[in-house]
Amino acid sequence: MDIQDVLEFASQTSPGMIRSHNEDSVTYDAPSGLVVLADGMGGYNAGEVASGIAVSVIASEIRQQLQSVKPEKIDSPSGDEVGVVLLRENLKKANFSIFNAANSQPQYSGMGTTVVTGLFYDDKVAVAHVGDSRMYRLRGETFESVTKDHSLLQEQIDSGMISKEDARTSKNKNLVTRAVGIDTDVVPEIHVYEVQVGDIYLFCSDGLNDMVVDEEIGSTLHMLKANLPLAATELIQLANDNGGRDNVSVILVKVNGKFSAPRGWVEKILSWFKN
């Protein structure tokens, strides 16, 4: 099956109830199976600029490069799948663009952004993230965060200093340990996961998971999985009803069928005819 026939997308973003600016940027590209979400930071409108650059660089570059490469192939120098290389290289490209813009224009000085981006191919999803924007997965009844934040709080949880429950009352939220655009290079964390039919993936900025507990996000997705745009709207409303103290963005991806890459010559020929 063609990837755009089996993946269903929905996205929503809101400045929240308190802030006048929306520094989040989101996009998805169904034919490429690509999702990009960024949560910018920086004075005045620099946060929007940083997240906007990240999203447009990553989305346009990957869309274009997918014309000539297959994400499921193995990249020869690195030994990684091409999909992983595409995410890594283009995150670095976005980092470079933001860093240069920040250094050439004083009003953008110090801007940066978190990024979470997913590329679906061959019954898999490759996820790259930097900072505290997340990807969650709902599979059957199980809803869990797949990415682990690059934040002070997460490091404290990992080292056992603070429990996950206690972390909710921490006064040290919003301190990220990695961001895109603040240094000459960036190290994204990238993992590849098998995808199952029926899975729902949620990409979100911290404006969602800071305002709504995971259990409630999961049950909302579970209840409204038949209507993805409504699920996205309800999630934003939950965050805003709980105070909406930050920008909040969500992208939902529902897997309605398999999308394995054509293998063997018969399948390959058939796939040519389909295009």
Q: Could you list the residues that contact other proteins (CB under 8 A)?
A: 16-20, 39, 41-44, 47, 110-112, 114, 131-132, 152, 155-156, 158-159, 161-163, 166, 169-179, 182, 206-207, 210, 216, 219-220, 223-224, 226-227, 230, 234, 237-238, 240-247
Q: Output phi, psi for 249, to 5 deg.
A: -140, 140
Q: Report in angstroms how near the CB of residue 197 gets to other proteins at its nearest.
A: 16
Q: Output phi, psi for 152, to 5 deg.
A: -60, -45
Closer residue to other proteins (CB): 124 or 129? 129
The two structure tokens encoding residue 25? 């940027």
Question: In this structure, are residues 263 and 10 in contact, taking their beta carbons and an 8 Å threshold?
Answer: no
What gap in Å lies between CA 273 and CA 271, rounded to an integer? 5
Closer residue to other proteins (CB): 33 or 244? 244
Q: Between the CA of residue 154 and those of 40, 57, 76, 145, 146, what are the distances in Å?
A: 20, 28, 34, 12, 13
Closer residue to other proteins (CB): 97 or 177? 177
Q: Report in angstroms how near the CB of residue 49 gets to other proteins at its nearest.
A: 13
Q: Report in angstroms how near the CB of residue 273 gets to other proteins at its nearest.
A: 34
Closer residue to other proteins (CB): 42 or 83? 42
Q: Report in angstroms how near the CB of residue 193 gets to other proteins at its nearest.
A: 25
What is residue 149's three-state secondary structure?
Answer: coil
